[in-house]
Structure 1
């Protein structure tokens, strides 16, 4: 073994097996994973948070949690899609309203009053 300034340069053998998960902790982790999956579909930001926590706990316990991973991924994807849809609507809706108003002015009878706009074609 080579030592430099009191620190070994070669990796040290681990002192036994990694963390082991009890059956109870796996059950709790599986339930958290299922909650993350359902939350990821119903309210995606919650799915991201719960999925990340459940995944972290699963890793610390030494087991894999597919439900938590799926909840995390679905939460991320649906959150991104929701943000894209909101941005698209904020950009497109004013243009659509303007085009409809122009169409009404060109081809229909327009009645305007404060806070009210009526078009009959």
Structure 2
């Protein structure tokens, strides 16, 4: 082996001399020399790209709350469900509760709108027609509105 600091020296079979600070005990492994005086540490473990298996999914609790609210308060449940879904997707996790809350909220809101226009609006217009017909007869007797007979004497109370 040649000395890197003196390449012209012939290789020798004698091991290099121990460092100047002292002889290591016989039979003990020799320590590696430290350069620059900094201590040597083991390398850090590689970063983990996935959360631990038992870690909570971000937005899961909000997704469950949105699911429960989707049966009662659809607009709030829709907003909470979307927020929970976005949080879960940013963390790379799936959130079935939030997806279900969004779907149920949208379906129930559409059904509510259909029900409103199919039942409530015709009921309001029918009642206004009854009031107008009863006003015409002075709230006495009966009138016929849309093929139905209505007693106007009860309408004045």
TM-score interval (norm. to shorter): 0.5 to 0.7
Residue of structure 2 equivalent to 1:105: 143
Q: Secondary structure at the match of 1:105?
A: strand
Task: Give me the TM-score of the superposition, normalised by structure 1.
Answer: 0.62
Q: Could you list the structure 1 runs, at least 4 aligned residues long, displaced by more than 4 angstroms after superposition.
A: 21-25, 99-102, 106-109
Unaligned 5+ runs, structure 1: 1-18
Task: Write out aligned runs for 1:1-121 (5 A).
Answer: 20-21=50-51, 23-26=54-57, 28-97=58-127, 98=129, 104-106=142-144, 110-111=152-153, 117=156
CA contact (8 A) 1:37 1:47 kept: yes
Name the count of aligned residue pairs: 96
Change (3 A) 1:60 1:93: same
Task: Give me the TM-score of the superposition, normalised by structure 2.
Answer: 0.50
Greater strand fraction, Structure 1 or Structure 2 = 1
Whose RCO is larger (CA < 8 A, sep 6+)? 1
Greater helix fraction, Structure 1 or Structure 2 = 1
